[in-house]
């Protein structure tokens, strides 16, 4: 296994090679000893690679691209030479140790499940990423892979993320909360109530109970568990309201000569403040539960954001997350 090589789906995301390749090269520059394999259309990729990095970069051709809006099940069957298929194959065949894509999430998950398979004891991999708070972060899963989940699935998500928080952040006993519509025991739908009993009974977990949606960004728990339908909607709603607020503020500032003038003076400072609120720093979510490291970048990721997702992939490799998950689930049998 080549433990420092990440296979990168260069054709993915809203911007493709022209963002992914410079972003990756910048990462390589700052991180000696790392290597990548770009996967995709050779003629689109090779011209963008600076010769300085030639010895740390390989290119593997893939003739097809799965579009962001394609139906995953069909793409899986009919586009077997897609950049996603080929990149995941590199991990499967030991030619890369992780795969990173900003592409179609459903297709990435589908291909990864088929080719890499899930760790024994895990029924379904989940998408797990970090959500910010003022001083820290929490891991939230599932961010959208599994829209219909049983309580048992949520339990497995909690165990997987606990392993991850221990490995990545050195938390001895990371706290786990279930996302719910209230904090009292009586609150919740059937699925969440049942999951709460399972989590409370599991000795390997530090389960602290329910949390409500407004506390997702307060780091009240190291891990927040929900099904993929709810996780997807919670995150996208948050994204939507953040855009709404920033657009509204910009519009109001522009509509008034005094604020327009003040904001002009404050442009460099405003940029600095904005960069601290920047969600790009937390770009990257791992498809947790596979026999291989697969990381998903946001489709809209720019150069900076994509670099963070790549860093996330290397962090997963550095702690050998797959072995740690495997050990945990074998110990529970």
Report phi then psi at 292, rounded to 5.
170, 155
Among 20-28, 68-76, 88-96, 280-288, the segment contacting a second copy (CB under 8 A) = 68-76
Q: What is the DSSP letter of 82?
A: B
Q: How far is 174 from 177, CA to CA, in rounded Å?
A: 10
Q: Which is nearer to a second copy, 1 or 241 (CB)?
A: 241
Using the rule CB under 8 A, which residue among 200, 204, 249, 332 binds a second copy?
Answer: 249
- Show contacts with a second copy in window 160-179 (CB under 8 A): 179
Q: How far is 110 from 82, CA to CA, in rounded Å?
A: 13
> CB–CB of 45/30 below 8 Å?
no
Using the rule CB under 8 A, which residue among 1, 71, 200, 201 binds a second copy?
Answer: 71
Residues 6 or more apart from 330 whose CB is under 8 A from it?
120, 121
Query: In terms of Cα–Cα distance, which of 157, 141, 155 is closest to 198?
Result: 155
Q: Which is nearer to a second copy, 73 or 323 (CB)?
A: 73
Q: Report if residue 67 touches a second copy, rule: CB under 8 A.
A: no
Among 110-118, 194-202, 222-230, 308-316, the segment contacting a second copy (CB under 8 A) = 222-230
Place of tokens 């990168």: 8
Q: How far is 121 from 332, CA to CA, in rounded Å?
A: 9
Q: Report if residue 93 touches a second copy, rule: CB under 8 A.
A: no
Which residues face 224 on adjacent strands? 140, 177
Q: How far is 209 from 220, CA to CA, in rounded Å?
A: 11
Using the rule CB under 8 A, which residue among 248, 323, 327, 332 binds a second copy?
Answer: 248
Using the rule CB under 8 A, which residue among 67, 81, 239, 332 binds a second copy?
Answer: 239
Contact residues for a second copy (CB under 8 A)?
A: 69, 71, 73, 132-134, 144, 147-148, 179-181, 184, 186-190, 192, 212-218, 226, 228-230, 232-249, 251-253, 256, 258-259, 262, 265-266, 269-270, 272-273, 276-277
């Amino acid at each position: 296994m080549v433990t420092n090589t990440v296979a990168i789906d260069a054709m993915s995301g809203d911007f493709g090679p022209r963002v992914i390749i410079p972003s990756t090269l910048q990462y390589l520059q700052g991180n000696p000893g790392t290597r990548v394999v770009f996967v995709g259309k050779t003629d689109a990729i090779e011209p963008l690679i600076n010769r300085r990095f030639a010895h740390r970069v390989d290119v593997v051709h893939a003739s097809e691209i799965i579009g962001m809006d394609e139906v995953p099940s069909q793409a899986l069957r009919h586009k077997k030479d897609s950049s996603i298929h080929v990149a995941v194959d590199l991990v499967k065949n030991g030619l890369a140790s992780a795969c990173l894509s900003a592409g179609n999430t459903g297709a990435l998950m589908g291909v990864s499940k088929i080719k890499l398979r899930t760790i024994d004891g895990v029924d379904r991999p989940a998408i797990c990423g970090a959500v910010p708070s003022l001083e820290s972060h929490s891991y939230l899963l599932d961010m959208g892979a599994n829209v219909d989940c049983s309580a048992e699935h949520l339990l497995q998500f909690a165990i997987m993320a606990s392993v991850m928080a221990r490995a990545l952040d050195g938390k001895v006993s990371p706290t786990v909360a279930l996302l719910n519509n209230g904090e009292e025991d009586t609150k919740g739908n059937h699925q969440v109530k049942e999951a709460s009993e399972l989590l409370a009974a599991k000795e390997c977990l530090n389960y602290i109970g329910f949390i409500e949606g407004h506390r997702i960004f307060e780091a009240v728990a190291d891990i927040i568990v929900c099904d993929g339908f709810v996780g997807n909607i919670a995150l996208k709603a948050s994204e939507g309201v953040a855009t709404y607020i920033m657009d509204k503020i910009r519009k109001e500032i522009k509509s008034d000569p005094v604020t327009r003038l003040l904001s002009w003076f404050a442009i460099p400072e405003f940029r600095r403040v904005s960069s601290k609120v920047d969600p790009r720093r937390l770009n990257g979510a791992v498809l947790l539960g596979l026999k291989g490291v697969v990381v998903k970048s946001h489709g809209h990721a720019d150069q900076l954001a994509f670099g963070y997702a790549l860093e996330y992939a290397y962090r997963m490799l550095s702690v050998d997350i797959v072995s740690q998950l495997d050990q945990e689930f074998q110990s529970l049998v």
